[in-house]
Amino acid sequence: MIKSKYNWNLNNPTEYITDDIVKSLKLSPIIKKILESKHIVYEESIQQTLNGVEIDHDTSLLSDIDKTVERINQAIDKNERILVYGDYDADGVTSTTILVHTLQKLGAQVGWYIPNRFTEGYGPNEMAFQNAYDEGVSLIITVDNGIQGHNEIKMVQDLGVDVIVTDHHEIGRTLPEAYAIVHPMHPEFDYPFKYLCGAGVAYKLAQTLLDNVPNYFKAYAAIGTIADLVSLTDENRSIVQNGLRVMNESCPIAIKALLNQASFNDEISEETIGFIIGPRLNAVGRLEDASLAAELLMSESPEEAEFLAEQVEHFNQERKDIVASITEEALAMAEDYVKQGHQFLLLAKEDWHEGVLGIVASKIVETYSLPTLILNIDYEQNHAKGSARSIEQVSMFEILSAHQDLISKFGGHHMAAGMTMDIDNIDELRTGLNDWMARLSETTSLEPSKNVDVLLDESDITIKNIRDIQKLRPFGTDFTSPLFEIRDIAIKSLKAIGKEQNHLKMTLGESNLVSLFWQNGAYASQLEIGQPVNLIGNLQINEWNGNQTPQFMVQDIAMDTLQILDYRSKSKNTDFLNNDETTAFMIQSKAQKLNENEFYYGETVPDHFDKMVLRDLPMTLDELKLTLQQTQISQVYIVFQHKASIYFEGMPSKELFKKCYKALINKKEMNLATEGMMLCEFLNIKANILKFMLKVFLELGFINEDDGIITIATQPSKQDIESSQMYQSRLSRIEVEKLLLYDDFTHLNQWIKSHLGDNY
């Protein structure tokens, strides 16, 4: 039995696509099921999903848009100095680029500024605003930030500088006192779609200001949308579809240079943005000043773009190394807190690079499925700064807002946040966050879950169906790549792959479906060929040497039945279970217990143990039967360590016992040391068989032994050889070895299952 890491929630559609729509749109059965699972059942919404129908909401519905346009035009007419104040992530630099280029096309006197993550932090910065005022700026326009900059905005507004906030992050209890606020979630306006990213808001503002928006703006808005993980539905879906089309038809020189450095020359998809473009644009701001990324996006010559892209690639490689180092430390720290029962992981340490803590937090969430806040402690500045990532059940914005008195500054949304706080408040915040989680867990299940779109038959997994699924792209937040479940599919082959054997590759079912399970190579030692497994994952097409085959990318695995795993071979070992607190080791009663998870055969194993290793060979089968009857675990590992085997020596016959005894009578007295080998030769047996027979005679009182001299007892009682306990122990040992060491696994497997408790 293998317990899944997630609860699998198979979507049960409440509405279905009609047969008429299926016929008119020529929907395949698998597409119909996927759309129904995502509650897309009406013709218009299906058309929008499949055919990329344009969704472009009226910009006049955005908050303060008219006031914003009027003030920008006034600044241009009066040749006022305008500052675009951006942010240091991919969304921030793309939105900065869009708005700066928009204003330049309008003839504005415009500059731009991106705060340094480390010296200034996220959002409006009082010193930067003061410098802008000192340099004669009279209009500041924020992009992808500002909605939480109350004090800084009021300060510069009081100096006579107007501030227009364009943002998309969560709005707090009050709005800043800005000249205008362009925000899709503004409480006093009713924009039809609330989930634009910062670049999306900048793009909508550009649409209002320009008669003809340049195509590359669409590409940059798409990058911001994908990289910032906002909802890929409604207008965002159109933004990404249009942006991908632009990038594939006429890729902006900056993006082309970035992809050249990454040695990427395939079709650009949402995955290209999510895994190649976005991380590289983010890497600069994570390690140094994000201005380099903005300069790359604003570059107009291929030579300059290639030069800047090369520098960006350098930062990206450095970022990977730093992330790996911090993640290793953070995982060890997280493990300790999880053992203590923490449900919110607040991890803090000195000398952790602040720029990558969001990535590290995401990796901790992936591992433990708990909301996580990672902080770097800076004793010189007497503060801690970092990033948080959440799970679906917990709003990071809400939980941090509830502890705002312990936090100097923070901003974010449901799934992520950034913050600064006093070092002295860390322990109190950790306690408060865990208390909050404890209260939440009383009414809300915190178990990690995956929403499964469709239950597949093996026959559904075809190249044609996978190509149909690709028509639903792009996939992203709120419109994820379809997650499929396959039940009871037999393993045909399996092995751990990769340099460190940390990935699992299997072939499954009658079709020999290839499946890959990244970072789960350990399952190669827990699964066996022929076993039926349940899987959830995504479908892909694998192309190799011109051939295309289906491939299943596993996200989780489960097995409903008890697993009995054969580890009797010397080439296999159970070392990987040594530090597993849910594994019990069964040992012989003669062995010394060295750990709390070691039990003698016949003892009751507590319920919290999930796996059992039959490490030592039991003395009797009855001992093993008693253990199995009390077993309530999911995996049994058969090892049966032993120093020597007697099975192939067998049991001496009664005739041999008689012949040996008669020889001893004839000798009357025998020196075992000098005459033992002669007796062995006479009986045609090995020395250890003779020793065993003599021990039986001695036990039954047939002979006497004194310092190696054997004599016949004068008046031995008449007893059957089989009444000897020594004789019966050997019989039992032979029976144990025959079944447990030398029988084929199929029969042993059946024998073990036949003696398990009633729960099986």
Please compute the mean of the pLDDT values over residues 653-662 and round it to a whole number.
Answer: 96
Please compute the mean of the pLDDT values over residues 559-564 and round it to a whole number.
Answer: 83
> For 38-95, how does the pLDDT look when each residue is reduced to its tens digit (9 = 90+)?
999 999 889 888 887 789 999 999 999 999 999 999 999 999 999 999 999 999 999 9
pLDDT at 414 over 90: no
pLDDT at 607 over 90: no
Looking at residue 122, what is its pLDDT? 81
pLDDT at 461 over 70: yes
Please compute the mean of the pLDDT values over residues 424-448 and round it to a whole number.
Answer: 95
Rg over CA atoms, the chain: 36
Please compute the mean of the pLDDT values over residues 96-109 and round it to a whole number.
Answer: 98
Cα-Cα-Cα-Cα dihedral of 190, 191, 195, 196, to 10°?
Answer: -150
pLDDT at 759 over 70: no
> For 680-734, how does the pLDDT look when each residue is reduced to its tens digit (9 = 90+)?
999 999 999 999 999 999 999 999 999 999 999 988 899 999 999 999 999 999 9
> For 625-638, how does the pLDDT look when each residue is reduced to its tens digit (9 = 90+)?
999 988 788 889 99
What lies within 8 Å, CB to CB, of 325 at 6+ separation is none
Please compute the mean of the pLDDT values over residues 96-102 and round it to a whole number.
Answer: 98
Residue listed under structure tokens 């699924």: 469
Residue listed under structure tokens 């039809």: 192
Looking at residue 758, what is its pLDDT? 66
pLDDT at 750 over 80: yes
Is the peptide bond between 279 and the residue preceding it cis, with omega within 30 degrees of 0? no
Cα-Cα-Cα-Cα dihedral of 345, 347, 352, 357, to 10°?
Answer: 20
Distance in angstroms (rounded) separating the CA atoms of residues 75 and 138 = 8
| Residue 329 tokens, joined | 């430390």
Residue 274 DSSP class: I
Distance in angstroms (rounded) separating the CA atoms of residues 655 and 696 = 14
pLDDT at 319 over 90: yes
> For 175-201, how does the pLDDT look when each residue is reduced to its tens digit (9 = 90+)?
999 999 999 999 999 999 999 999 999
| Residue 58 tokens, joined | 């009226």
Cα-Cα-Cα-Cα dihedral of 332, 89, 269, 465, to 10°?
Answer: 50
> For 135-167, how does the pLDDT look when each residue is reduced to its tens digit (9 = 90+)?
999 999 999 999 999 999 999 999 999 999 999
Q: What is the number of other CB atoms lying within 10 angstroms of the CB of residue 744?
A: 8
In the chain, % of residues over pLDDT 90 = 82
Relative to beta strand 669-671, strand 703-706 is unpaired
What lies within 8 Å, CB to CB, of 293 at 6+ separation is 90, 93, 281, 284, 285, 312
The residue among 185, 179, 178 whose CA lies nearest residue 200 is: 185
The residue among 524, 535, 515 whose CA lies nearest residue 565 is: 524
Q: DSSP states of 520-589 as a string?
A: -GGGGGT--TT-EEEEEEEEEEEEETTEEEEEEEEEEEEBSSPEEEE--STT---GGGTT-TTEEEEE-T
The residue among 252, 209, 218 whose CA lies nearest residue 237 is: 218
pLDDT at 760 over 70: no
Q: What is the number of other CB atoms lying within 10 angstroms of the CB of residue 190?
A: 9
Q: Please say whether the beta carbons of 391 and 416 come within 8 A.
A: no
Q: What is the mean pLDDT of the chain?
A: 94
CA distances from 179 to 84, 85, 142, 157, 219 (A): 15, 15, 12, 8, 30
Looking at residue 165, what is its pLDDT? 98
Looking at residue 570, what is its pLDDT? 78
